[in-house]
Amino acid sequence: MTSSGTDEGPRHPIVGFTRALAAALDRVLVHEPAFLSRQDKKAVLLQLARQRARLDALELSVLAAADRDDVGSETGATSTGAWVSHVTLTDRAEAAAKVRLARALDQHRAATRDGLAAGDYSMAHAAVISRAIADLPGDLDAHLVAQAEKTMVEEAARLTPKQLRIIGRHLLEVIAPDVAEAKDKDRLDRADAAAFARARLTLRSNADGTTRGWFRVPDLHAAILKGAIEAVIAPRKADKPEPDPVTGRKPDHATSMGQGFCEVLEHLQVGGYGDHGGLAATLILTLSHEALKTGLGGATMVDGNSISAGEARRLACGAGIIPAVLGGTSAVLDLGREQRLFNRAQRMAMVLRDKGCRAESCDRPASWTEAHHLTKPWSEGGRTNLADGILLCGHHHRLAHHPDYHHERLPNGDLRYHRRT
């Protein structure tokens, strides 16, 4: 860049200052700062930060004047920001933002400009203040706008830009609580409606027994989902997570969240969602009578995807699934679930009796458990009664139906698991 000043005629003080500054930097940059004392290093760094802010104030003031004069027009630049970007090798977005800030401080934000010129805060603080004031309602009284700027300027002298940004988001509440309440209600109502309108969900089968998906939901519903999943996996946070029964590896947090999501889906209440094809929101699985008895083979969902018979047997202990058991000629031998499910009274009795998961050394509470047919599974004609029921958490319920594990009943009624050899 070249200076706009010349040696002919009176020199503008700002031109003289920039030249003096350049000469001073030439003299000082040759010295090694390592020889400064510790106290001098601290003092110099603080002073440089303060003077940098003042230089930024000067730059923005000159930039606002240059913008008024349309300095870029001589070279055909499309805007002052484009010209600044070119001559200073600054990214276009950064240059444009600096021009906008220069205009705002020059035209509207004198108090913010003065604080920057005094070195009380940085240009980043000034940008936060300008943005916060711009975000206030356009019909706000002028004295409230002035009060808002005064508040932000005072806070900027003691907060980081990030902390100041938080103040800015709640600025209207600080200066005009009554106005903020009415405005906030309207804003939040519109934001909630817009967030719900943007909700999306896509699912695609990977053809390997898994499905991947993408969703976008309002923050409220994301918090509900996250809370439900974390409630399911909470005991696994306090204790060491159990190794995966297949891989033997302990799951990372993302895997635990995914598995917790599966448990949440399995325990959705099927009532109250309306009908789909004449049925409530219920999953139907078809499996052969032989697979039902032996646990070998698979069960097929309506969409054609399959799961193991063992997994189907486990799911049938709970709600949300209708096992359709077929004979050799694909005739429906049994279609239903009520007789396989423990009713509310039986569940409450098991909670009082078992207190929580009855797997050995498991301390998960009753709220994380499922009722399991213990002595004789329903697939073998077992009856759904209190004596045949036991509470197991999701992990140990899976192991109870997993072909690689078997379990034994201990004298105190707990279950001890062993991997089959």
Length of the chain: 421
Q: What is the DSSP letter of 287?
A: E
Domain boundary residue, one of 314, 340, 366 = 340
Take residue 329 and report the two structure tokens written for it: 């000629």
Listed residue (215, 189, 211) closest to 202, CA to CA? 215
How much is the pLDDT for 271?
A: 56
Tell me the pairing of strands 283-288 and 211-216: unpaired
- Count the neighbouring beta carbons within 10 Å of the beta carbon of residue 408: 10
Residue from 386, 396, 382, 371 nearest 317 by CA: 371
Query: What span, in angstroms and rounded, lies between the C-alpha atoms of 199 and 184?
Result: 22
Q: Which residue has the tokens 């980043």?
A: 124
Own/partner contacts of 240-246, CB < 8 Å, gap of 24 or more, are 242/395, 245/398, 245/399, 245/402, 245/404, 245/405, 246/404
Q: Are residues 301 and 399 in the same domain?
A: no
Give the least confident one: 19-23, 27-31, 274-278.
274-278
Q: What is the pLDDT of residues 311-336, one digit of tens each?
A: 666 665 554 455 555 555 444 444 34
Read off the pLDDT band of 265 (50, 70, 90): confident
For residue 197, being part of any structural domain is answered with no
How many CB atoms are located within 10 Å of the residue 291 CB?
A: 21
Q: Please indicate, yes or no, whether residues 76 and 140 belong to a single structural domain of this protein.
A: yes
Q: Is residue 200 part of a domain?
A: no
More confident residue, 254 or 64: 64
415 contacts 400 by C-beta, under 8 angstroms = yes
* pLDDT for 11: 83
Question: From CA 85, how far away is CA 181, in angstroms rounded?
Answer: 42
318: left (phi over 0), alpha (psi -120 to 50) or beta: beta
Alpha-carbon distance of 344 to 350, in angstroms, equals: 10
- Is the pLDDT reported for residue 162 higher than 80? yes
Domain end call among 159, 190, 221: 190
Per DSSP, what are the bridge partners of residue 283?
A: 321
DSSP 206-240: -SSS-EEEEEE--HHHHHHHHHHHHHHHHHHHHSP
How many structural domains comprise the chain? 4
Q: Within a domain: residue 359?
A: yes
pLDDT above 70 (res 399): yes
Q: Which residues contact 386 (CB under 8 A, 6 or more apart)?
A: 346, 349, 350
Residue predicted with more confidence, 24 or 406: 24
Contacts of 42 (CB under 8 A, 6+ apart): none
Same domain assignment for residues 160 and 174:
yes
d(CA 48, CA 44): 6
Q: What is the pLDDT of residue 279?
A: 38
Q: Any idea what the Cα angle at residue 346 is, between residues 345 and 352, rounded to 5°?
A: 90
* Band of residue 363 on the pLDDT scale cut at 50, 70, 90: confident
Is residue 248 domain-shared with residue 158, that is, in the same domain? no
Together in a domain, 395 and 310: no
Q: What is the mean pLDDT of the chain?
A: 79
Structure confidence at residue 313 (pLDDT): 63
Residue 70 domain-assigned (yes or no): yes
Give the model's confidence band at 89: pLDDT under 50 very low, under 70 low, under 90 confident, else very high: very high
Distance CA 254, CA 268 (A): 21
Distance of alpha carbon 48 from the chain centroid = 38
Q: Is 362 exposed, middle or buried, given 0-12, 13-18 or 19+ CB atoms closer than 10 A?
A: buried
Are 74 and 121 in the same domain?
A: yes
Would you call 283 helix, strand, or coil by DSSP? Answer: strand
Q: Is the pLDDT of residue 246 over 70?
A: no
Is-contact 44 36, C-beta < 8 A?
A: yes
How many CB atoms within 10 Å of residue 262?
13
Q: In terms of domains, do 169 and 248 share one?
A: no
SS3 1: coil
Same domain, 183 and 59: yes
Higher-pLDDT residue of 22 and 196 is 22
Query: Which residues share a beta bridge with 308?
Result: 298
Q: Kindly indicate the confidence band of residue 24, based on its pLDDT and cuts at 50, 70 and 90.
A: very high
Are 252 and 280 contained in the same domain? Answer: no
**What sign has the CA pseudo-torsion 77, 81, 84, 87?**
negative
Tell me if 360 is assigned to some domain. Answer: yes
Integer distance in angstroms from the first to the last C-alpha of the chain?
A: 79
The answer to whether residue 1 is domain-embedded is no
Q: Count the Cβ atoms, other than its own, within 10 Å of residue 77.
A: 17
- Tell me the per-residue pLDDT of 116-160, one tens digit each, with 9 for 90 and over: 999 999 999 999 999 999 988 888 888 889 999 999 999 999 999
For residue 323, the enclosing domain spans 271-340
Read off the pLDDT of each residue in 37-64 and give the average, rounded to a whole number: 95
**2 within a domain of the structure (yes/no):** no
For residue 79, is it within any domain? yes
- The structure tokens listed for 382 are 């077992």
SS3 326: strand
Among 266, 283, 309, give the residue marking a domain's end.
266
Give the lowest-confidence range in 20-29, 103-112, 237-246, 327-336.
Answer: 327-336
Same structural domain, 254 and 275: no
More confident call, 271 vs 257: 257
Task: For residue 170, give both structure tokens.
Answer: 């709640």
- DSSP assignment string, 390-418: EEEEHHHHHHHT-TTEEEEE-TTS-EEEE
Tell whether the model's pLDDT for residue 281 goes beyond 50. no
Q: Is residue 179 domain-shared with residue 215, that is, in the same domain?
A: no
The reply to whether 336 and 388 lie within a common domain is: no
Non-local (6+) Cβ contacts of 212 within 8 A are 203, 204, 206
Structure tokens at 324: 């359709």
